[in-house]
Amino acid sequence: MLNNKLLGFLFICLMVFEVKAQTVEYSGQIIEKGKKVNGQRDFYFAIGSIWSEEHKDVNIDDGKFHINLGEENPLYEHFFDANNEAKLYVSVNGIALELITIKLPKAKSIKKTYKRPLLANSTDNRLQMFSEDGLQKVDLKVNANNHGQLYLYDSLGKRKAWLAPFGVEGKTGGLLSLYGDHGGWVGTGFKVWEEKSLPFFHLEGYKMKNTPLVAMETYEYQEESNPVEFGVGHFLNSDNIQNSRIEAYGFWHTSKNGTVAGINTKDWDNNFPQIHLNATDYFDNSQLFTAEIITHKDVEMGNLYMKNGTEEKTVVINPQNFYINDTENGYNTFINSSSFKVGKNDYGKLGELNIVKGNNGGEFAQLILRSESGGELKLDHYSDFSLIDSDIRYKRDIQPLSSSLEKVMQLNGVSYHYRVNDFPKKSFSSERQIGVIAQEVEKVYPELVVEDNKGMKSVHYAQTVAVLIEAIKELNQKVEALEEQNETLKAELQQSMENKEELETLKLQLQVIQKLITDTK
């Protein structure tokens, strides 16, 4: 097994395990830089925080070594799980290896018969007490590390309590361990594996060995130049997929899918309180919801912050404003007590509704609508809705209208009622209306008709004025032509009447001449 921490050592474990008076034989081979090691090495072994043993100057011959684990500090059955397995920590000359699984076969029971309770006081600083049935009840001794330790056993001879100094690489602290019938463990001591041996209290269940389901510990935190110690509580479920953490700075709960709910104080912001909800680590930035107190312009206030997992959509709500930012589509909305703004991130505000102060000191509402091309429509109580931008300087490609009268004659003015009940969202008036039909107008003047995405048509009524003006002008030209023609006809008729009178006079004169001629004959 190659271990990155071994720094050049290749540690090949050819392990042989055999139960011998609460010991486990541990054999292996060490190869360094491709060569079998000869000499001596210091070994340190531990099973969690309940057992440890140190073997110094272990002889290694042709790379091979042999150690009896439990020789100095006995190994007991309850150190192992239901499969008689335990995770063994190993270090060689202070270099840690990966955890190794060791197995403890069940030992053949050895029956002892005692006629009376036995108290044994050996010469190696050890005191043992046995009950009448020969089972050990108390074991008080000085171990190989020159630490005093006390073991207490129940009526079945199982160790249920252990009190001893516990050490790691020269650092020691007191450790009290209590064991249940099925492997549950209660332990309190000091974290000697850290720089400061701060105290801890652990509760283990039965399903997961060497994993505390409840842990209360003391931690140290470097706050600027001042180290601060504080208590922390951890609470897990038996599958180690949900847990809660309580400490002096806040409370956090993590669900089985990685979602986190937290309550804490912000030491970076006047220690104001904060509630936040984090999603799973599917997203890089997982904090989707935050409720907190913030300072804005020297005023403390509540603040609500929400976003989606990709941070493309965010919402901020507080007493000062309401803000929505949609970077995915490029839009933003801002509302405060006196304005409403809708904008586009790469352009600015496309729409504004503001409260504006007038020249006389009063206030009025003002609506401003803009387009990306630079167009702007401003509406307020000063606005004249009859005005439409029509300066010739705004226009190009100007063409006169033609045949307006002929086209207008194809349109029909009608009266009608809107289908109010069929289109309730349109807020149509129920009163009788006068107007035109969009489909008829479209056939003659398609420029005056607009169709929406649902195919419904609307008419630019204001623009029909230009058509009517040209139609009236054409009609006026016809009237003037008829009047001129009429005057011509009238003149011709007058001349005809005068000619008729003259003709009648000539006729009378001819009759007189004819009569004179007749009379002379």
Give the Cα separation of 102 and 18 in Å (integer). Answer: 11
| Tokens 């008419």, located at residue | 459
Count Cβ atoms below 10 Å from residue 516 Cβ, excluding itself: 10
Whose tokens are 């020969």? That residue is: 134
Asked if pLDDT for residue 162 goes beyond 70, the answer is yes
Where does the pLDDT of residue 112 fall: very low under 50, low under 70, confident under 90, or very high at 90 and above?
A: very low
Long-range contacts of 299-305 (CB under 8 A, 24+ apart): 300/272
Greater confidence, 19 or 118? 118
DSSP 108: P
| Residue 479 CB contacts under 8 Å (≥ 6 apart), including other chains | none
Alpha-carbon span 470 to 408, nearest angstrom: 10
Nearest to 445 by CA among 427, 422, 475, 465: 465
Which uninterrupted H or E stretch holds 504? helix 464-520
Q: 167 exposed, middle or buried (CB, 10 Å; 0-12, 13-18, 19+)?
A: buried
Query: What are phi and psi for residue 221, nearest 5 degrees?
Result: -130, 130
| Residue 474 · residue 405 · CB < 8 Å | yes
Helices (H), 218-289: none
* 300-308 long-range Cβ contacts below 8 angstroms, 24+ apart: 300/272
SS (H, E, C) 82-106: CCCEEEEEEEECCEECCCEEEECCC
Give residue 8's pLDDT band: very low, low, confident or very high (50, 70, 90).
very low
- The pLDDT assigned to 254 comes to 85
**Whether 447 contacts 404, CB under 8 Å:** no
Mean pLDDT of the chain: 81
**Token digits of residue 335:** 């509302």
Segment 394-452, tens digit of pLDDT: 888 989 888 888 888 899 999 999 999 999 888 888 999 999 999 999 999 999 999 98
The kind and range of the H/E element at 486 are: helix 464-520
Distance in angstroms (rounded) separating the CA atoms of residues 234 and 215: 5
Q: What is the pLDDT of residue 477?
A: 84
Whole-angstrom Cα distance, residue 414 to residue 459? 14
Write the burial class of residue 102 (CB in 10 Å: 0-12 exposed, 13-18 middle, 19+ buried). Answer: buried
- The whole-number pLDDT of residue 282 equals 57
Q: Where are the beta strands (DSSP E) in 193-281?
A: 199-204, 212-223, 226-236, 243-247, 250-254, 260-266, 272-278
Per the structure block, which two tokens stand in for 3?
A: 């271990």
DSSP string, 302-371: EEEEEE-TTSSEEEEE-SSEEEEEETTTTEEEEEETTEEEEEETTTEEEEEEEEEE-TTS-EEEEEEEE-
Kindly state the average pLDDT of the residues 318-345.
Answer: 89
Rounded mean pLDDT of 243-255? Answer: 87
What proportion of the chain, given as a percentage, has pLDDT over 70? Answer: 87
pLDDT at 121: 52
| 515 pLDDT above the threshold of 60 | yes
Query: What is the Cα 291 distance to its own chain's centre?
Result: 14
* pLDDT tens sequence across 67-93: 888 877 878 777 777 778 888 888 888
Pick the closest to residue 441 from 416, 408, 466, 415 (CA basis).
408
Is pLDDT above 70 for 222?
yes
Cα separation, 323 vs 186, whole angstroms: 52
pTM over 0.85: no
**Residue 428 confidence (pLDDT):** 87
Of 116 and 210, more confident: 210
pLDDT for position 284? 58
**What pLDDT was estimated at residue 47?**
85
pLDDT at 21 over 70: no
Given a cut of 70, is residue 385 above it in pLDDT?
no
pLDDT-derived band at 116, boundaries 50, 70, 90: very low
